[in-house]
Amino acid sequence: MFCRAFSLAMAFCFGPVPMACAQNTLTDADPARAGVTVVLPDDFPPYVSVDSAGEPEGERIDMWALWSRTTGIPVTIIQRPWPDVLATVARKEADVADAIGITPERLIGLDFGPSHGHADVAIFTAKDLPAVNDIASARGQTVGVLENSQCLDRLQSADVETRSFGSSHDLIYAAVIGELPVFCFQTAPAAYLLAQAGIEDTYRASAPIFTTTLHWTVRKGEKILFDRISDGFRLIAPSQTAAIAARWSGQAAPVLGSFRSGAVLRLLAILVVFLAFALSLAAVLRSRLAKALHARSQIEEKLRQRIREQSCLYEVFLATDNMQRATEEILRDVAEALHKGWPGAESPLVRAELMGHIHDEIGSRDASAALTTPIMMEGKERGRITLLLASGSSDDGSGRMLLGLAASRIAGRTLGATALVMLKKSEERFRRTFQHSAQATAIIQEGRFVNANRAALDLLGYRGDETFLGLTPGEISPRFQPDGEVSAQKAPRMTDDLMRGGASRFEWEHLKRNGESVLVEVLLTAVAEDGRTDIFVLWNDITVKRQAEAALAAYQQTLEAQVAKRTQELTNLYDELQAIFATAKAGIALVRDGCIVTCNPSLASLLLWPHNELIGRTTRAFFYNDAASEDSRIAAYKAMDNGEVYEATTELVRLDGSKVWVRIRATAVEPQNPAKGTVWVLEDISNEYAARCQLAEARDLAVQAARLKSEFLAHMSHELRSPINAVLGFTELLSGTDLAEHQRNFVQKVQASGRHLLLILNDVLDLSKVEAGKLRIEHCQFALPSVLRNAVDTVSKGVADKNIELLVEMDPAVPRTLIGDPLRISQILMNYLSNALKFTPAGTIRLAITPEPAIAGDQPDTCRLRFSVADSGVGMTQEQVARMFQSFSQAEDSTARLYGGTGLGLSISRQLATLMGGEVGVSSVEGNGSTFWAVLPLRSVASVPAEPEPDRRLAGRRILLIDDHPGALGQTAAALGESGANVICAASGSEALAAVAQADADLPDAVVVDLKMPGMNGIAAIRNLREKLGEAMPPAILMTKQGGQETVQLTLAEGIEDLVIKPVDFDALVDKLSVMLKTGAARLSGRHLDTRVSIRRARPGSGPKQSLGKRALVVDDNPINRDLTAAMLGKHGLSVETAENGADGLERLLDQHFDVVFMDNQMPVMGGLEATRRIRALPTEKGQIPIIGLTGRATAEDHQEGIDAGMNDYLVKPVTPEALHEVLARWLLLGVPDPTE
């Protein structure tokens, strides 16, 4: 009645409030009467959790209760572990799932309502490990996650290894027992669960790795249900939602406004009714209350006792709930629980023992009256609990039962914790073994792959199991297997075999993800569990094995074919060798232990033995004696022991006693063991031996002939040079006297013939030196312009006589200072120039020097130069060109008669170039001249060239240049222009006069004119210019191809300031012009005249005055040479004494005073070398007198012999005035001016 009145009162005040208790689910057919079943996670605070009574509570529980009151539709709340929440909806065991995040996969089968909250997700890391701050830094760790969670999806997509748990309790438990140092979870539930487990300080959380919104959701397509739920939540006031949220977030709910006046009146009416009703009942209840109070006190006492026992058991349960704590701590908490829940008034002392751990409050007290209960696990006592009451009172039975329950709880929890730890370890061990095993393994359930380890995925080419799981074996198999059977037909047969036997092994071809085939050995094992059969698949890749087997089979077939082929080849080879062995011209024998095992017929023919008698005969029978045989055997086996083939030439004895020379070659059948047999090959070389003896005799004769030839040439050199010396020397003296013009012409022709004969003699001697290998190439530093000038000087007179223009062109890139043999370079150029002059009746000869590119093998300082001499002469045919550079060879036989010469010069040039590492060549066109060239490798002088300053010696000067030859005119003009001059060019005297006439007041500062020009020569041109210009005539320089005294006298007679010899030394020409223009055009001076070609050269202080009083001794067995040398010395002002041999000269030296001695090398009685040694042996000052050697031999050996004997210097006959002067200047100091003059 009370309830009815209370209900009426509430209905009066607030209207009806439905109390939904139905368990029906909402359907589209009857949504008004059906109920709604909502499934939530079992632990997701603050949205949902469980209170101490095991009932659900939380923000979403309150919201659904409010929704039920608002809509009048009953709501049933069920809780499931998180991985099973959505599965419950899918199985239609619930209508709605709440607190669900949205993912693309979930949107496929679910419809989501509006968001009602959010959850931050972070990674939690044990504090004793480095922090994991994001997904990237989680790689390398195993991260715990809930199954079917967003954490799992995100971490696996980032290739992070994960460990899945079926519930949050399992995950937190793994963290509690220390098996999960890293896990991913929502921050709020994690903080709650960690605090509940007492390990909130053990882990630290990262910043949120993502945030998910929370929604309620229904199965896709259930629109009526979705709309009903949405409408219900829209009816709830925001203030009500905020109040519920504030309650569970720890915030105060907003205070409602004041009641209206009508509501207050209704409330007062209710209170009045309630008061009247209460007063009427008070009297009735008071009597009943007194009776009930007594019974209640008794029941309450028993109830308190039971509550204390239940509280004690509850405390024991709590103490043993977490068995991961220290055992001593658990035992202490159990003791505290027994203290609180003991049925008597007195608290007992407790001693708790468990597996070696103890909590002891009894100590040394007498425990004979104590209650003791063992802790039994698996039939064995693992500990005990002992209680001692201080008063020694006994127990009424309830205490012992409480003690037994506590012991049983401890034993059960210990066994469970131990088993759980072992199970977890076993599962983890299996999981790791499965995942990390090198054995490819997979699991098939209901015909599809549900799990596969890394090795299996790698084998089939899958990057992750998300694309592999769910496939059927047929989807990764080709249509046909290697044996031709269809895969879809063969697979069921394999499955039937598996089901009958429980295991099956066979070979199968699978398809990788990229379409490639892989052949595997498959081991299937069927395991029945929970009404289903799982198939464990083991794969072994045998692709390489089968390929190797196929290759091996093919190789074996090939090998067998090759063996058969090789056997046939060896058979054929044996037949061929037998044929060769039988028909070989050389004797061949197989020898073992010093006896012939077998031999061919040729050996029998060679030794004149019957073939059958040679078999088994010792080799000693073929030698002169035992010693010769033993020496040959020892030498042969020594060579074969070293792995060599023994070779020797020896003389053997035939059966008839005759001797034969043979060449023996022997080798071992097995080089490591010559005792197993040796093969001997004997070749008859009697004819060869005889020829060799004859060759040795011929070689001895050739050596003797070469020696005689050298001696003959040396002797002929001496004998020929002596008369040539006399001819050239006396004609030189004769030309210095007063002669008629025709007499002087005769003398010059005699001189030219003598020089030509000397040139031929030098060519023959050089050729002999080259052939004998006695010509040495020098390597010294020289100035290239000096070498060119020396070569040009040799043909200057011939060039002048023929009026040929000789041009020298040197590339600016050519170094001026080089290292090489200047004498041999000059000799090659003189031969080329002489040859060009000989075959060029008129025109131009051009000497050019250009650089050549380096070739392989050149050193860094190598400088390759091309020296070429081009002429405009008669030229040659190709047949004539082919004969060039051969000894004693000219273009044709009539050439020598027409032009003269022996043809040795070019041959010597080729050999000289070869000795210097170069090469020579010629190109020619008949009628258009020839070009002879030589490419020589020289060495440049290593120096850092200074930056050349511009040549401004003739800056601003106007030079009138007159030359009829275009090449010479261009060269000279370019050289003057480089010195800053303004050059006016004229090709004739007439053009020069016209140029001066046009110049008016701007006259030239100097005139440079060629002597020989057609029409008006250089002298006539200067006369006409002088006549035209008068006093304004500038200074002039005459260019001439020939110098000498006559040219100098002509220059002086015409009043010309200076002259230069062609080809022009341009640096000297610029110097002359610069000096003349600076000194005001000083007139003719001997200091300026260039008389290089003149025989008598002007030398400072070289007159006879310095040699007056000097005495010379000439020792020579040839009276003509004695008189010539005496005369030439007399021209230098020396007083000369002569002697006819070394003994006579030594005697005269001892008797008289001399300043210098000229000593011939070869003389009768006493030669010059012996005389020199005796002079040097004198103890007086006369032993130090300068001795100049005279010889007709021009070899370096002769020169060195003289120096070794004690001579100071050396002159080769014929002696030139220049060479004689240089020697006198060197040893009598004639070049030093007299200070008194």
Using one digit for the tens of pLDDT, what is the confidence trace for 586-598? Answer: 889 989 888 998 8
Give dist(CA 101, CA 1001) in Å, integer. 113
In Å, how far are 376, 1180, 1191 from 409, measured between CA atoms? 10, 140, 138
Question: CATH topology for 313-425?
Answer: Beta-Lactamase (3.30.450)
In Å, how far are 910, 1115, 1158 from 1143, measured between CA atoms? 45, 9, 14
Q: In CATH, what is the architecture of 1100-1228? A: 3-Layer(aba) Sandwich (3.40)
DSSP 593-625: TTEEEEE-HHHHHHHT--HHHHTT-BGGGGSSS
The pairing of strands 958-962 and 982-986 is parallel
Give dist(CA 1220, CA 1212) in Å, integer. 10
Q: Is the N-terminal amide bond of 966 cis, ω within 30° of 0?
A: no
Task: Give Rg (Cα) of the chain.
Answer: 66
Query: Residues 500-517: what's their mean pLDDT?
Result: 88
User: What is residue 569's three-state secondary structure?
Assistant: helix
Question: Could you tell me if 120 and 186 are in contact, meaning their C-beta atoms sit under 8 angstroms apart?
Answer: yes
Return the CATH superfamily for domain 584-684: PAS domain (3.30.450.20)
Tens digit of each residue's pLDDT (9 = 90 or more) over 1067-1120: 889 988 988 888 654 443 333 444 333 323 333 334 444 556 789 999 998 888
User: What is residue 236's three-state secondary structure?
Assistant: coil
DSSP type of residue 350: E
Give dist(CA 786, CA 782) in Å, integer. 8
Query: Residues 1118-1137: what's their mean pLDDT?
Result: 87
Partner residues linked to 115 by β-bridges: 215
The pairing of strands 210-219 and 110-126 is antiparallel
Query: Residues 670-687: what's their mean pLDDT?
Result: 84
Task: Flag whether pLDDT at 23 surpasses 60.
Answer: no
Task: Give the other-Cβ count within 10 Å of 614's Cβ.
Answer: 23
Nearest Cα neighbor of 805 from 845, 766, 772, 768 is 845
Nearest Cα neighbor of 783 from 818, 808, 809 is 818
Q: Do the two domains 438-541 and 584-684 of this chain adopt the same fold? A: yes
The edge-to-edge listing of strands for the beta sheet with 503-511 is: 448-452, 440-445, 532-541, 517-529, 503-511
Task: Give the other-Cβ count within 10 Å of 1002's Cβ.
Answer: 10
Q: How many Å separate Cα 999 from the centre of its chain?
A: 73
Structure tokens at 1005: 């500062």
CB-based contacts of 478: which residues, under 8 Å, 6+ apart? 487, 509, 510, 511, 517
Give dist(CA 742, CA 754) in Å, integer. 19
Tens digit of each residue's pLDDT (9 = 90 or more) over 158-213: 899 999 988 887 888 788 778 889 999 988 888 878 877 778 888 999 999 888 88
Alpha carbons within 13 angstroms on the beta-carbon side of residue 1213 total: 31
Question: Could you tell me if 376 and 411 are in contact, meaning their C-beta atoms sit under 8 angstroms apart?
Answer: yes
Per cent of the chain over pLDDT 90 is 18
Give dist(CA 684, CA 75) in Å, integer. 126
Q: Please report the pLDDT score of residue 288 as a whole number.
A: 61
Domain ranges in the chain are 313-425, 438-541, 584-684, 771-940, 958-1078, 1100-1228
What dihedral angle (degrees, nearest 10) is formed by the CA atoms of 1119, 1121, 1122, 1124?
Answer: 120
Give dist(CA 536, CA 437) in Å, integer. 14
Task: Give the other-Cβ count within 10 Å of 155's Cβ.
Answer: 22
Task: Flag whether pLDDT at 251 surpasses 60.
Answer: no
Give dist(CA 997, CA 999) in Å, integer. 6
What average pLDDT does the structure give for the chain? 81
In Å, how far are 181, 585, 1142 from 581, measured between CA atoms? 88, 9, 76
Q: Please report the pLDDT score of residue 1035 as a whole number.
A: 93
Give dist(CA 484, CA 49) in Å, integer. 62
Question: Could you tell me if 663 and 683 are in contact, meaning their C-beta atoms sit under 8 angstroms apart?
Answer: yes
- Note the pTM of the prediction, 2 decimals: 0.40
Q: Is the N-terminal amide bond of 1214 cis, ω within 30° of 0?
A: yes
Give dist(CA 1178, CA 762) in Å, integer. 37
Handedness of CA 485, 489, 490, 491 (dihedral sign): positive
Question: Could you tell me if 1058 and 1029 are in contact, meaning their C-beta atoms sit under 8 angstroms apart?
Answer: no
Q: Please report the pLDDT score of residue 8 as a whole number.
A: 34
Task: Output the CA angle 856-860-862, nearest 5 degrees.
Answer: 80
Q: Which amino acid is at 520?
A: V
**Window from 130-139, 339-348, 1007-1016 with minimum mean pLDDT:** 339-348
Query: Residues 497-524: what's their mean pLDDT?
Result: 88
Task: Flag whether pLDDT at 575 surpasses 60.
Answer: yes
Q: Please report the pLDDT score of residue 1216 as a whole number.
A: 78
Give dist(CA 215, CA 230) in Å, integer. 12
Structure tokens at 393: 């009172």
Q: In CATH, what is the architecture of 958-1078? A: 3-Layer(aba) Sandwich (3.40)
Q: Please report the pLDDT score of residue 301 as a whole number.
A: 63
In degrees and rounded to multiples of 5, residue 534 shows phi and psi of -95, 140
Give dist(CA 218, CA 95) in Å, integer. 6
Report which of residues 520 and 400 the model is more confident about: 520
Tens digit of each residue's pLDDT (9 = 90 or more) over 1107-1118: 567 899 999 988
Handedness of CA 1138, 1143, 1148, 1150 (dihedral sign): positive
Give dist(CA 235, CA 67) in Å, integer. 8
Which helix (H) or strand (E) segment is 293 a member of?
helix 261-319
Which helix (H) or strand (E) segment is 1135 a member of?
strand 1135-1139
Give dist(CA 150, CA 745) in Å, integer. 127
Total count of residues recorded for the chain = 1237
Q: Please report the pLDDT score of residue 496 as a whole number.
A: 84
Tens digit of each residue's pLDDT (9 = 90 or more) over 268-279: 666 666 666 666
Tens digit of each residue's pLDDT (9 = 90 or more) over 36-75: 999 998 878 888 887 767 788 888 999 999 999 999 899 9
Question: Could you tell me if 810 and 783 are in contact, meaning their C-beta atoms sit under 8 angstroms apart?
Answer: no
DSSP type of residue 1184: G
Rounded to the nearest 10 degrees, what angle do helices 966-978 and 1066-1078 cross at?
Answer: 60
User: What is residue 861's three-state secondary structure?
Assistant: coil
CB-based contacts of 149: which residues, under 8 Å, 6+ apart? 82, 83, 184
Give dist(CA 367, CA 1041) in Å, integer. 151
Rounded to the nearest 10 degrees, what angle do helices 261-319 and 2-14 cross at?
Answer: 120
Quote the strand ranges of 555-633, DSSP E: 587-592, 595-599
In degrees and rounded to multiples of 5, residue 1146 shows phi and psi of -65, -40
User: Does the domain made of 438-541 have the CATH classification 3.30.450.20?
Assistant: yes
Q: In CATH, what is the architecture of 771-940? A: 2-Layer Sandwich (3.30)
Q: Please report the pLDDT score of residue 1156 as a whole number.
A: 94
